[in-house]
A = this chain, B = another copy of it.
Amino acid sequence: MTQQLNSLSLDDARRIVAAGEARAAEIGQPMNIAVVDAGGDLVMHVRMDGAWRGSVDIAINKAFTARAFDIETAELADLAKPGGPFYGIQASNNGKVMVFAGGAPVRADGVIVGAVGVSGGTGEQDTTVCEAATAGF
């Protein structure tokens, strides 16, 4: 018997991105906000005017990473440090594994249905926008 994969939809992604954008505007820091589905593929991305160009890739890959390992990327930061149990994981998956704050899974009834990635500010700024975005779901 096949398994069922619950996944967020584009409409879900729109709400998630809108909530992230609102928080980014609130703290006055333009951001890149990406949403992937349960399959880890991009559903929606927004780069706010003035947000870093180099963060397009990072936001998308934070979202990828959060779903690839069903983990908040901030947790990976610690695990991937020299001496940590996942040290070197950054080299895997063609460089798409981001090990710093700003990526988080999105859950529906406790089940992960996708993930969000945020990049464009300090770790704290990325984190607060990421939290607002996931809460927007």
Contacts and interface: CB of A to CB of B under 8 A. Distances in A.
Interface residues of A, number: 65
A85 to B, nearest CB: 4
Contact of A40 (B42, B53, B69): B53
A81 B80 contact: no
Contacts of A2: 6-9, 12, 108, 113
Interface string A68-104: 1110000001001111011111111111111111000
A23 interface: no
A12 B113 CA distance: 22
A43 interface: yes
* For the complex of A and B, 6 pairs with smallest distance between CB atoms: A54-B68, A39-B39, A85-B123, A88-B99, A5-B5, A90-B91
12 contacts: A2-B7, A2-B12, A2-B108, A3-B7, A5-B38, A10-B47, A52-B69, A55-B69, A77-B87, A81-B83, A82-B82, A91-B98
